Structure 1
Amino acid sequence: MIKYEDDFLSSVKPNYKEFMKPIEARRMSKTVKNGIICSQLAMKEAEIEMPDALIFGTGLGIVSDTEKFLEKMLENNELLLTPTSFIQSTHNTVAGQIANRIKCHNHNFTYVNRGFSFESALTDAIMHINEGKKNILVGGGDEMTEHYYSIIKKTGVWKQKPTKNTDLLKYETKGALCGEAVSFFILSNEKKQNTYAEMKNLKMFYKPKDISEIQNKIRIFLKENNIQLSDIDLIITGHSGDKKNDEIFDNIISSDFAKTTAAYYKHLCGEFQTANTFAFWLAANIIKHNEIPDFIKLNDKKPKQLKNILIYNHYFNINHSLILLSKV
């Protein structure tokens, strides 16, 4: 676990030279570079050379390149502008760059749907699997910049001072600890030796009225998948450090999952519109390795097994989602 005390959490930079030429890396934003590397690692581990579809979800796209283009526009009075930053700033840049590198001409789609962006990409991937496709490369990600942080900070949704991520839930103040990340996965139509977990299903719902409605959504979701509340061995929630929004997770855990092991993850990646990509990666690894890291636990409950993991996240109580992963 990496410890931070900063305005927002920055993703760890890999050694780009191991994956691309320096001249290529200089032209790309961090999100594009990390997306290319993550997709390469995912395909390598899954032993897939060419996916049947490439699907990406992002809430903001490449903010850093958008800022560069706008700054140059102001500096040059809208004259003599090079198109590079503008071209690289579009939301589909990550998926486009990946497809270009691996020469993939199959279905390529980028979902920009705020707090539902990654979940929308997953839904599309599931539909392709159900239609007979074998291997889908699906991912999501967003980036954080100083400019974007300073602007959104004024609305009060982010922490106003540098925050220790290790003490995130001790602050009990308004505002979330924001961050960034990029993740990629291979969804397959069959179990393989290197399979991590099975994605049973997912559900999205928008602006629930109260806790009772959320509880009802969760119960219906589990019932549709022939699973009872007691069958959930671990629930992973999206606690972000924002006192008001975290109370929703606390109420769900204390009511329906009082006897269930609970964990959270945004002290590791921060809050952003596709933060569930990190939770998805975390849950899959927990199932594969059959172990829950101590630094993500919310209680002392010990599961008898790690068969079913429920991910429950919401983005500022607007976009709510449920993802169910199971052992195979």
Structure 2
Amino acid sequence: MYINGASAISPLPVFDAMTSGISFIPGEGNRLTAYEPAYNNLIDPKLIRRMSRVIRMGVATAMDALRQAGVSNPDAIITGTAYGCLEDTGIFLKRLVENGEEMLTPTAFIQSTHNTVGAQVALLLKCHSYNNTYVQRAQSFERSLQDARLWLTEHPGASVLVGAADELTDYSYALLERFGLYRHQAGGEGAAYYLVTDAASEKSWARVDQVYTLFDPGPEELQDLAAALLQEASGQIDLLLSGEEEMDYNADQYAKVSSVLGYGLPVIRYKKYCGVYPTATAFASWLAAWWLKAGKVEVDGLQLLSPGRILIYQADPSGYHSFILLSAC
């Protein structure tokens, strides 16, 4: 599966990376807010004011990915999200309490559902093709990628718009912080979309080789899967993008993965740039595709030329683990 267009919005200013490059400055504080671009060139200004932040971020990255790939209308739209449109959900619940469950306008409720981002993209494109949204917690983006691969297998020559989006609001931040989610890393948010096909082109950024997901695996199971990935990559994995959130919780698992991949393998912990949120692997995939397309990695004092394969490993305290292997075209 080949990435022919990729766009992301995150706390790291990457949306205009094509023209301005990227300044890798880790976020400060316990809450990282997405760096949003000017939307006027991508979305009708009359529509922007009716969109919540996560919808704007999702629509903008989707339109940008399509523009890069030169595709006006995809054959399928697949989106992953864990939280959905939290801003509209908060507005609806607030009005529900304040109005005593009476005289409620339906708009906030309609826009609070998880499939709103994918649906809004389809409405703007007038796309009547396959449209699905995956709500699978920390594996929402991975499930979307797996569905995209299945779709391309069944529909050779098709193009699929696949991505993920999650936002952090005042309400959700206060609640999740009370639950201790941000004890080790700052909270974050972001959106990313990709235009993928089953064949490479001159516009291709990278190739998605494998996507694996596991729930509450034992260290040996992780070790076996890491060994299988290494074998599939012919022993060549040049960089590990690591997204483990609690080293105390994941120490044994992470040690098993590292023992297979090699302790000398360069590691970048990408969540210090985007923060903690369930679909952060969508941002990590953008980073990996960007570096593979550029042919070099320069961050955190690391200089790596001509990377061939980059592995993304995510583990969170809820027991969700995933691997995404990307390679240069």
TM-score normalized with structure 1 length: 0.87
Aligned AA (2:210): N
The aligned counterpart of 1:139 is 163
Gaps of 5+ in 2: 1-23
- Superposed counterparts of 1:131-170, under 5 Å: 131-133=154-156, 134-159=158-183
CA displacement, residues 186-244 of structure 1 (integer Å, 9 cap, x when unaligned): 111111111001111111111012x3331122112443xx334x31111111144x442
The aligned counterpart of 2:215 is 206
Q: What is the root-mean-square deviation in Å for CA atoms of aligned residues?
A: 1.9
Contact in 2 for aligned 1:141/1:183 (Cα 8 Å): yes
Aligned AA (2:104): L
| Higher mean displacement: 196-205 or 251-260 | 251-260
The aligned counterpart of 2:10 is none
The aligned counterpart of 2:238 is 233
Sequence identity percentage: 33
Contact in 2 for aligned 1:50/1:104 (Cα 8 Å): yes
Contact in 1 for aligned 2:223/2:256 (Cα 8 Å): no
| Higher mean displacement: 244-253 or 40-49 | 244-253
Contact in 2 for aligned 1:158/1:176 (Cα 8 Å): yes
Contact in 2 for aligned 1:43/1:186 (Cα 8 Å): yes
What is the alpha-carbon distance in structure 1 between the residues aligned to residue 41 and residue 277 of structure 2?
A: 28
The aligned counterpart of 2:267 is 262
SS at match of 2:180: coil
| Higher mean displacement: 254-263 or 178-187 | 254-263
Aligned AA (1:306): P
Paired residue total: 304
The aligned counterpart of 1:179 is 188
Gaps of 5+ in 1: 160-174
C-alpha change, 1:84 and 1:239, in structure 2 (3 Å) is same
The aligned counterpart of 1:165 is none
Aligned AA (2:92): F
Selected match of 1:215 from 209, 223, 229 = 223
The aligned counterpart of 1:72 is 95
Alpha-carbon offset, residue 304 of structure 1: 6.6
The aligned counterpart of 2:313 is 312
The aligned counterpart of 2:326 is 325
Matched, 1:279 2:284: yes
- Superposed counterparts of 1:244-259, under 5 Å: 244-245=248-249, 247=251, 248-249=253-254, 252-253=257-258, 256-259=261-264
What is the alpha-carbon distance in structure 2 between the residues aligned to residue 154 and residue 74 of structure 1?
A: 22
Alpha-carbon offset, residue 106 of structure 1: 0.4
What is the alpha-carbon distance in structure 2 between the residues aligned to residue 323 and residue 259 of structure 1?
A: 20
Contact in 2 for aligned 1:203/1:221 (Cα 8 Å): no
Contact in 1 for aligned 2:227/2:261 (Cα 8 Å): no
Alpha-carbon offset, residue 90 of structure 1: 0.4
What is the alpha-carbon distance in structure 2 between the residues aligned to residue 192 and residue 151 of structure 1?
A: 45
Contact in 1 for aligned 2:220/2:256 (Cα 8 Å): no
Selected match of 1:4 from 18, 27, 51 = 27
Alpha-carbon offset, residue 250 of structure 1: 5.8
TM-score normalized with structure 2 length: 0.87
The aligned counterpart of 2:80 is 57
Alpha-carbon offset, residue 268 of structure 1: 1.1
C-alpha change, 1:2 and 1:231, in structure 2 (3 Å) is closer
SS at match of 1:184: strand
Contact in 2 for aligned 1:118/1:140 (Cα 8 Å): yes
The aligned counterpart of 1:188 is 197
What is the alpha-carbon distance in structure 2 between the residues aligned to residue 19 and residue 186 of structure 1?
A: 16
SS at match of 1:293: strand
